[in-house]
Amino acid sequence: MELRDIPYKVSYRNIKYPRIEFITGKLLLVLPLNSRPEVILQKHKRWIENKKKLIEECLNHSDGIQLIKRDDDRFKELIYMNSKNAERDFNVKFHVIYFRRMKTKWASLSSRKSLTINTLMRYLPAHLIKYVVYHEAAHLIEKRHNGRYWEIIQKQFKNYKKMEKDMFVYWFKINKKEYKKKNVG
**pLDDT digit string (tens) for 72-84?**
999 999 999 999 9
The reported pLDDT for the residue numbered 181 is 45
CA pair distance 176, 156, nearest whole angstrom:
30
CA pair distance 25, 7, nearest whole angstrom:
10
Angle between helices 160-174 and 176-183 (to 10 degrees): 80
Are 21 and 8 in contact by the 8 Å Cβ rule? The answer is: no
CA atoms within 13 A on the CB side of 100: 9
CA pair distance 95, 72, nearest whole angstrom:
21
For residue 31, pLDDT over 50 is answered with: yes
Q: Whats the size of the chain, residue-wise?
A: 185
**Ordered domains of the chain (ranges, CATH):** 8-64 (no CATH), 72-183 (3.30.2010.10)
pLDDT per position as a tens digit, 140-177: 999 999 999 999 999 999 999 999 999 989 998 988 75
CA pair distance 125, 68, nearest whole angstrom:
6
Are 99 and 119 in contact by the 8 Å Cβ rule? The answer is: yes
CA pair distance 123, 117, nearest whole angstrom:
13
Q: Which of 8-22, 90-104, 113-127 has the lowest mean pLDDT?
A: 8-22
pTM, rounded to two decimals: 0.80
CA pair distance 111, 165, nearest whole angstrom:
27
